[in-house]
Amino acid sequence: MKKISNQIDTKEKIENKIIDWITTGASGHLINLKPAIGPVVADLVVKKRGEYRKGSIVSLKLGYCEKNEEESIYTSEVYKNKLSQDQDWYLLFVYFDIVAQDVMEYVWLVPANKFFEIAKENKSKNLVFETPTDLKAESAYHRFLMDKKDLGDILTKIIDEGRKFRFPETGLMGLSGFKLEDLKKFVSASRYNGYAGEGVPVDNPRLRGSVQLEFRRGDWFYQDIYFDGKKSFIGQEIVYYNLKPVWGMSYFGDQLSEKATEFLKQTLSSLKDKCRFGERCEKEKKEFRYEDAGEGTLERFHGEEKIFAEGKNIYRLSYQGGLISK
């Protein structure tokens, strides 16, 4: 009886750790529920908090991995009759470190319908998850491997995109195929579809009191989060590739009149491939003149932009940024 009690305690610890990582990674925008009793029951149901955006739910079935030292593999047995192949069902395979009393740094999030295709059957006709302990080794589950810190973000994207969501072929941990020219084109498009193009802020920004703009294209995702004050504003842009943050820029600037703001947005749109990239550019229109004195490259840069009205400096913004990882 004591052994069973310990198993139950361990299962509860694992579930609580997973809930913590999901909640932290999603910045509190997801809630985790214990599902109602039924013929096929998930271990956790995850959905968006509040009613500000309609979306689906994700049902999670947890797979508790064992580590086979002799064969250098992680394994987990899954009973078919306890699993649904519905589009919203996912298996989350984890290895629990008893010494550290925490889930291993990396986890596998596998769509249930894909798991039925990949998994092998054992003698008991149950499905078996099996993958090398060497996480760099190629395996059938490699594309579903992720850092547990990213679990909340990935689940949020799955819920937001629904059936359109696709795991990248290169894997969630990989950044292969990422070129600087592709990054710059995406940042330019994001800005054009964001602040400069009258982008629509999200309903529930991650940071209280902020304005949050977002743009997606393929494996790329952009966020612009800023705070408006009476005289100034401060913010940052972050670009994700395959759900990993790869580039960012922070900025601090002065507030402008409505007319000067319109000029700034027009300038940022027309010079979207040069402004705030560490390059030098300028533009004039009627009484206004824009200057950006930037230095550096896309990998590491800084600069200051100014606006003059009839020769008088009425605005300045300082910025700096670069690659986070590549």
Q: What is the mean pLDDT of the chain?
A: 86
pTM: 0.59
pLDDT at 178 > cutoff 50:
yes
Q: What is the pLDDT of residue 6?
A: 52
**Could you give the 3-state DSSP secondary structure of residue 87?**
coil
The CA-based dihedral angle spanning residues 187, 190, 192, 198, taken in that order and rounded to the nearest 10 degrees: -150
Per-domain residue ranges for the chain? Answer: 2-164, 180-323
Amino acid 236: pLDDT = 97
Residue 38 has pLDDT above 60, yes or no: no
End-to-end CA distance of the chain: 51
Cα-based angle 56, 115, 35 (whole degrees, multiple of 5): 40
2-164 belongs to which CATH class?
alpha beta
- 98 band by pLDDT with thresholds 50, 70 and 90: confident
Alpha-carbon torsion 35, 37, 38, 40, what sign?
Answer: positive
Compute the average pLDDT of residues 165-171.
73
In contact, 57 and 45? CB cutoff 8 Å? yes
Proportion of the chain above pLDDT 90, given as a percent: 48
**pLDDT digit string (tens) for 264-313?**
999 999 999 999 999 999 999 989 999 999 999 898 999 999 999 999 99
Query: In this structure, what token pair is assigned to residue 174?
Result: 């990989």
Per-residue pLDDT at 184 exceeds 90: yes
